[in-house]
Structure 1
Amino acid sequence: MKVIMLQDLKKVGKKGDIVEVAEGYGRNFLIAKKYAVEATKQNINVAQAQKKSAERKKQQASDEARLMASQLSQVEITIPVRVGEGSRLFGSVTSKDVALTLKEKHNIDIDKRKIDIKNITCLGDYTATIKVHPEITSTITVHVVEK
């Protein structure tokens, strides 16, 4: 019996896949628990349309991420901090500080967990890597100056 998977199921298939299973397993388990539907012509057409739609959305998200990454690569931010003896910072500059500065100065809202920056404890220029998309990253320049 052929069924179209509605959910990911280990050792059976992923969502949207058309798989061949035993008659009893398909009717009594997969279809009964709403893990799958029978693979009729109409259901196959619907599944293919949904797959194409999902691919289009994924491609659009990737294109938007590339555009955002190219815009971010041109951004430079300046973070003023309090400095102690020997131009050492009180504390350090973190990804949270970078995210707040991006939001305030450039109106770019990025989650602090997507910003990768090494531990900054001195004045100077640094680079921060931002994950815009799972496969796409961008770098920005961070200037740490005395307040």
Structure 2
Amino acid sequence: MAKRVPVVLNESISKLGKNGDLVEVAPGFARNYLLPKGLANIATPGIIKQVEQRREKERLRKLAEKQEAEDRKTALKTIGRLVIRKQVGEANAIFGTVTAQEVADLIKEKAMLDVDKRGIDVPDISITGDYQVEVKLHPEVTATVDIEVAAL
């Protein structure tokens, strides 16, 4: 059987690897498909070193993103309770619902932080009272914000 050829991928290829991965493929696959289409390069020591440098930069960037999310979490803790005013009916039942957009707008107003509304998990709120809302700031960082739903 033929020897395998180590290549570094230039693009993500399903069932083979992601961009920058070092993989071993059959020589014919590399020679006839990956190399002519520019999807991979033969793994030389110089190219492997470049890939390692790129990975280190990416790791540092992700670490900085996580640290920024931790700082934002601390900022959200310091603002305290947020108050949302809603029109109420009998037995303190609110008309409508509290949306993630309303919470995001209130956070922006009070804490000067932009938060994506898709990362906000608002529980079902049907009456006035105190609630906790989870705000996902990063895949590994989640903050809890206390909100109070009050009458207009």
The normalised TM-score by structure 1 is 0.92
Does residue 31 of structure 2 align to residue 27 of structure 1? yes
> What's the counterpart of residue 9 of structure 1?
13
Query: Which one has the bigger strand percentage?
Result: 1
Pick the aligned partner of 2:137 from 128, 132, 137: 132
Cα distance between partner residues in 2 of 1:145 and 1:111:
24
Cα distance between partner residues in 1 of 2:6 and 2:16:
12
Cα distance between partner residues in 2 of 1:31 and 1:128:
51
Percent identity over the alignment is 36
> What's the counterpart of residue 95 of structure 2?
90
CA RMSD, aligned part only? 1.3
Does residue 42 of structure 2 align to residue 38 of structure 1? yes
Cα distance between partner residues in 2 of 1:84 and 1:40:
72
What is the Cα deviation at residue 8 of structure 1?
A: 2.0
Q: Which runs of 4+ in 1 moved over 4 A?
A: none
Which amino acid letter does the alignment assign opposite residue 103 of structure 2? V
Does residue 109 of structure 2 align to residue 104 of structure 1? yes
Q: Deviations over 1:26-59 (max 9, x none)?
A: 1211122222111122211111111111111111
- Does the 8 A contact of 1:94 with 1:120 survive in 2? no
What is the Cα deviation at residue 140 of structure 1?
A: 0.4
Pick the aligned partner of 2:148 from 133, 136, 143: 143
- Does the 8 A contact of 1:83 with 1:89 survive in 2? yes
Cα distance between partner residues in 2 of 1:65 and 1:137:
9
What is the Cα deviation at residue 128 of structure 1?
A: 0.2
- Does the 8 A contact of 1:128 with 1:141 survive in 2? yes
Which amino acid letter does the alignment assign opposite residue 55 of structure 1? R
- Partner SS state of residue 96, structure 1: helix
Cα distance between partner residues in 1 of 2:62 and 2:110:
30
Which amino acid letter does the alignment assign opposite residue 75 of structure 2? Q
Unaligned runs of 5+ in 2: none
Aligned length: 147
The normalised TM-score by structure 2 is 0.90
